[in-house]
Amino acid sequence: MDPGLIQLDQGSGGRAMHELIDTLFVSAFNNPLLAERNDSAVIEIRGERLAMTTDSYVVDPIFFPGGNIGSLAVHGTVNDLSMLGAKPLYITSGFILEEGLACGDLEKVVMSMAQAAREAGVLVVAGDTKVVPRGKADKLFINTSGIGILPPGIDISGRNARPGDQVLINGTIGDHGMAVLCKREGLAFENEIQSDAASLNGLIALMLDAFAGIHVLRDPTRGGVATTLNEIAEHSGVGIRLFEEALPVRGDVLGACELLGLDPLYVANEGKVLAIVPAQGADAVFSAMKSHPLGRAACRIGEVVSNDPGRVFLRTRIGGHRLVDMLRGEQLPRIC
Amino acid sequence: MKYLEEYRDPLLARSLIERLRRKAPDRQVRLMEICGTHTVAIFRSGMRQLLPPQIKLISGPGCPVCVTASEDIDRAIWLAQQPGVIVTTFGDLVRVPGSSSSLHFERSKGADVRIVYATLDALQIARDNPERQVVFIGIGFETTAPTIAAAILEASRLGVNNFSVFSAHKLLPPAMRALLEAHEVNLDGFLCPGHVSTVIGAGAYQEVVDNYKVPCVVTGFEPLDILQGISLLIDQIESGRAEVENQYRRAVTREGNSAARKLIEEIFEPADSTWRGIGTIAKSGLAFRSEWKGFDAAQRFLMPEITVKEHPGCRCGEVLRGVMTPPECGLFRKVCSPQDPKGPCMVSAEGTCGAYYRYSE
């Protein structure tokens, strides 16, 4: 049953989106840089390696606990560059505004973008503004592109995971998705769940200083930790085993997930990095993470194995095993 | 986290599993978890491979999306196609394939289909859109029915005239009886659903125990709950007893929630209902009482005759009756996946096929 119409789940970050990207975009724009399918492309100009990325933001609501669409756009783009080990430098920003958007809201969004850029040490160097009639967009969409410089000797890619590597994460999972969802649906808990949205370039620089041989860095945004690890397992041709009792989830996020029937493994993060590190460098990277404010709650959550290539398994709390699939269907549309 | 971690304790779980291994009967026992939430909890905990091989868990017809009759899915799709109508429902239903479409596809073609988390949200949509007809597709068991009844009472109190409910509700005990009467699966015990039992009470299974001599244990949803529920069933089987026991005492009483049942009874009355894969079961659904028929979408809209066309290879019916496991279906993983489901058991988060697909190799 295919009506030939775009469905919401094709933008979910999960299986349907990957199929769309593979069958349409990657084949149409056919080139080896795109085919790498990392968060950023690595381009070489006169011996200098640059990382380049782009991202669009359609989060609803545009203001949520812990951030807004503007700060999120900067964090997201900075993070996509950082996930290759690049030092983010310049960002461009395109705004699509709906007629009737409150000027004060736009100002707030832009001010927090400016602050996020200052804090991350990047410059917003070009932009574009369009206004569409009321109802033709929803308040405000932002597209950002970013460019960064890649230090020599760094080779980080989703293809590099190897059996024996450890899987680390810098803190609790599912915070961003649940913060946005609870705000959107008007769900109130004892404390408001805060998004984890943050620029991770500082943390990642520290991790690379500790051990430059990190194999993979990925930010588990849409589709969550489960989907991101499945991508890595597929691209690297390895299996990944997670330990359920090691997965860090905040109590309020877990409670909200239980209530709504969601699995935190599939809920979006905007200030988290999954690091896949050879065993000999894992302790150094882990200590570096712990020493940074954005890595205080870092955990070792799993390991890379040679069996079951392309698949992710979870060793459950009670000692069983189960498959952890990529996100299928739309879990939460418009979360970023 | 209070009331979660306590029931997921790894050491206690392992000692319960050890106990089950020690006292497992020497013959095979077949236990049915009726509820889809149990099915998913069992898979997510990886419990199946830890149980002794003699204990076989069979998934039953307790996923509300899965047991919704194909003709009711087609009616919901027809409603969504009517100009000016907003169809509201719970998440999973939108992806269930009907004869030639789904609510999901209708939405991408322009139909106004909205997912709500609570029936009162649907009522709010009706109040916000007074010029449009808002229909809530009511599916679910005794757990959701009271909330829907409450929304109808509220609509009546507020004088909201553009709100109606298409009632495809189901009642669980009649389905348990129908399964036992059919003699297709020889069941040694039921893990009875915790949530439904909060409303109907543990006492509701007494009749199953009395008439069919099949042990029933009302069970919660955390790994320790389920392991203890299984353990209680094995104890009953080994000692030749058939009783109603309540493992989920922190939520379920013998009497249940009489206020919730009163709400259901005020608006609805039991009526024959068609279950996917099982057929029509007497008094297993909920129809509007005559004084509330004004809120019945089936009365408000003149619906056409529906001729159902299901995917010819789909074995959801057998899966729902517990006579077949999903991997035994010819479509499973080959053409039927959560992304392109051919039947409801693959769609729903609580469906047996979806659970096998997502969590097992």
The answer to whether residues A197 and A316 belong to one domain is yes
Q: Which of A117, A149, A181 lies at the terminal end of a domain, its last residue?
A: A149
CB contact under 8 A, A258 and B4: yes
Query: In this predicted structure, what is the pLDDT of residue A295?
Result: 98
Please indicate, yes or no, whether residues A235 and A182 belong to a single structural domain of this protein.
yes
Same domain, A43 and A118: yes
Residue A163 tokens read as: 């059996």
For residues A13 and A104, membership in a common domain is answered with yes
Q: Which of A189, A333, A215, A199 lies closest to A270, judged by CA?
A: A199
| Residue segments in chain A with a per-residue pLDDT below the cut of 50 | none
- Burial profile A160-197: b = 16 or more Cβ within 10 angstroms, e = fewer: bbeeebbbbbbbbbbbbbbbbbbbeeeeeeeeebbbbb
Q: What ipTM was reported for this prediction?
A: 0.83
A307 plus A185 within the same structural domain: yes
Neighbours of A327 (CB within 10 A): 28
User: By residue range, what is the domain housing residue A274?
Assistant: 166-324
Q: Report how many domains make up chain A.
A: 2
Extended strands (E) in chain B: 29-35, 55-62, 85-89, 112-115, 133-138, 163-167, 189-193, 216-219, 244-246, 268-275, 279-288
B5 has a pLDDT exceeding 80: no
Answer yes or no: is A19 within a domain. Answer: yes
Name residue, tokens 């392109």: B340
Q: Decide: B87 and B80 in contact? Cβ < 8 Å.
A: yes
Q: For B138-241, where are the alpha helices, taking DSSP H only? A: 145-158, 172-182, 194-200, 206-212, 223-238
Mean pLDDT within B293-319: 91
Q: Is the domain of A142 the same as that of A170?
A: no
Longest dimension (CA), chain A: 57
| pLDDT tens digits, A105-154 | 999 999 999 999 999 999 999 999 999 999 999 999 999 999 999 999 89
CA–CA separation, A215 and A277 (whole Å): 6
Residue A222 included in any domain: yes
Identify whether residues A50 and A76 lie together within a single domain: yes
What's A230's domain CATH number? Answer: 3.90.650.10
Nearest-CA distance B141 → chain A (Å): 17
* pLDDT at B230 (0 to 100): 97
CATH numbers and ranges of domains, chain B: 66-171+258-300 (3.40.50.11740)
Which of these, B321, B268, B277, lies nearest to B69 by C-alpha position?
A: B277
**Given A6, A7, A322, which is nearest B359 (Cβ)?**
A322
Residue A203 lies in a domain: yes
Q: Which of the listed residues A95, A120, A149 is the one where a domain comes to its end?
A: A149
What per-residue confidence (pLDDT) applies to A151?
92
Tell me, yes or no, whether A331 lies in a domain. Answer: no
Q: What is the mean pLDDT of residues B148-166?
A: 97
User: Three-state SS for A304?
Assistant: strand
Are residues A130 and A231 located together in one domain of the fold?
no
Q: What is the pLDDT of residues B21-37, one digit of tens each?
A: 998 888 999 999 999 99
Residue A271 dihedral angles phi and psi, to the nearest 5°: -140, 30
The residue out of A122, A149, A176 marking a domain boundary is: A149
Contact A261 B349 (CB under 8 A): yes
Question: Residue A294 — φ and ψ, nearest 5°?
Answer: -90, 5
Write the DSSP assignment of B89-101 as a string of letters: E-GGGGG---SS-
With the C-alpha atoms ordered A257, A263, A268, A274, is the resulting torsion angle positive or negative? Answer: positive
Q: Which residue of A has its CA nearest to B97?
A: A1
Single-letter code of the amino acid located at A136: K
- A263 and A315 share one domain: yes
In this prediction, residue B338 has a pLDDT band, given cuts at 50, 70 and 90, of confident
Residue A140, Ramachandran bin (φ over 0: left; ψ between -120 and 50: alpha; else beta) = beta
Residues A140 and A172 placed together within one structural domain of the fold: no
CA distance A204 to A82: 7
Q: What is the pLDDT of residues A50-60, one digit of tens each?
A: 999 999 999 99
B303-312's contacts with Cβ under 8 Å and 24+ in sequence apart are: B303/B75, B303/B78, B303/B79, B304/B78, B306/B71, B306/B74, B306/B75, B306/B78, B306/B99, B307/B99, B308/B70, B308/B71, B308/B74, B308/B99, B309/B99, B309/B100, B310/B70, B310/B99, B310/B343, B311/B97, B311/B342, B311/B343
Element of type H or E holding B104: helix B103-108
Interface test with B, best of A322, A326, A327 (most B CBs within 10 A): A322
Question: Residues A11-51: pLDDT tens digits?
Answer: 877 788 888 999 999 999 999 999 888 889 999 999 999 99
A86: which DSSP letter? -
CATH number of the domain within which A118 lies: 3.30.1330.10
Q: Given CB atoms, is B359 within the 8 Å cutoff of chain A?
A: yes
Q: Which residue in A has a C-alpha nearest to residue B227's C-alpha?
A: A318
Q: Between chains, do A318 and B14 touch, taking CB under 8 Å as contact? A: yes
Looking at the domain assignment, is residue A329 inside a domain?
A: no
Tell me, yes or no, whether A268 and A232 share the same domain.
yes
Looking at the fold, whether A36 and A173 belong to one and the same domain comes out as no
Residue whose C-alpha is closest to residue A89's, from A134, A151, A29: A151
pLDDT score recorded for residue A259? 82
Cα separation, B167 vs B261, whole angstroms: 16
pLDDT at residue number B308: 87
**Residue ranges of the alpha helices (H) in chain A?**
15-20, 27-28, 32-35, 69-82, 103-120, 175-185, 201-210, 224-236, 251-260, 279-290
- Domain membership of residue A1 (yes or no) is no
pLDDT of residue A74: 98
Contacting residues of A for B227, CB less than 8 Å apart: 318
